[in-house]
Copies of this chain bind each other. A is one copy, B any other.
Amino acid sequence: MAKVTAATGRTRRTDGAERQQHILRVAVRCFAHSGYHGTSARDIAAAAEVPLSALHYYFSNKEELFIAAFAMEFQRVANQRNQAVQGIEKLSLADLVRGYIAPLLDGDGENDNRDFLRLQSRALDDPQVAKHVFNRVVLPSTQPFLAALQGLFPKTGRADLVRCFRNMTWAVGFAPIDPLYEALTDESPYPEGSRKTRALIDLMVKYHTAGILAVTSRTAKS
């Protein structure tokens, strides 16, 4: 409603680039909560306290806004991941898996990653959006992990390694936001406190390390 602050009489954010960032951050929250089709541009404009036309000025349409918001959020998490993995010279499988999983589950201290995880699942809402997002943003960032995995298991076919990688991706992506986990255990799926976070990370690392090992150990026939 009120798009003007009492103090200045001007709009909430004065600098253009900063306002653009502000819109993106709000868009992440809105899209993460209600999905692509479930969020209207008006919802985002209202939540960001900017007029609707500002969204179309900075981002040509709703689809581009979603992709920009997703790309920003994905890059933030990818940076955390890169920090976690770099510096380790000779990676073990467990280190590699932990390097992928841990940043997703314990955040960076300031903001947790629930909105990112939800947003990632929301990218599937629309087939065209999903195609753009996966091809432009997600796909390139998978190459380092897959290359490292292939380096550890040179005799395993790439398709099988991709299956393993995606098993891990989907499971970790939904674990902290799983509505059924809550219904089945009466606990939040998102771990509260560093102790529970560490326990969940350890569980996931154990599970997926063992899964990958089981698939790669005998690659030929069943």
Chain A interface residues toward B at CB < 8 A: 33-38, 121, 124-127, 130-131, 134-135, 138-139, 142, 146, 158-160, 162-164, 166-171, 173-175, 178-181, 183-185, 187, 199-200, 202-204, 206-215, 222
Interface centre among A34, A35, A207, A214 (most CB of B within 10 A): A207
| Min CB gap A173→B, angstroms | 8
The answer on a CB contact under 8 Å between A162 and B175 is: no
Residues of B within 8 A of A34 (CB): 126-127
Bound CA span A206–B216, Å: 10
- Bound complex: CA of A126 vs CA of B122, how far in Å? 10
What chain B residues lie within 8 Å of A171 (beta carbons)? Answer: 166-168, 170-171
When distances are taken between beta carbons in the complex, the residues of chain B under 8 Å from A185 are 158-159, 162
- By CB atoms of chain B within 10 A, which of A160, A175, A214 has the most? A214
Nearest chain B residue, comparing its CB with the CB of A182: B134
Find the B residue at minimum CB distance from A169: B180
29 A-B Cβ contacts within 8 A? A36-B38, A37-B37, A37-B38, A37-B125, A38-B125, A121-B121, A131-B179, A134-B183, A139-B180, A142-B180, A158-B184, A159-B185, A163-B175, A163-B200, A164-B207, A166-B171, A166-B180, A167-B208, A169-B180, A170-B170, A170-B171, A170-B174, A199-B222, A202-B222, A206-B215, A207-B211, A207-B212, A209-B214, A210-B214
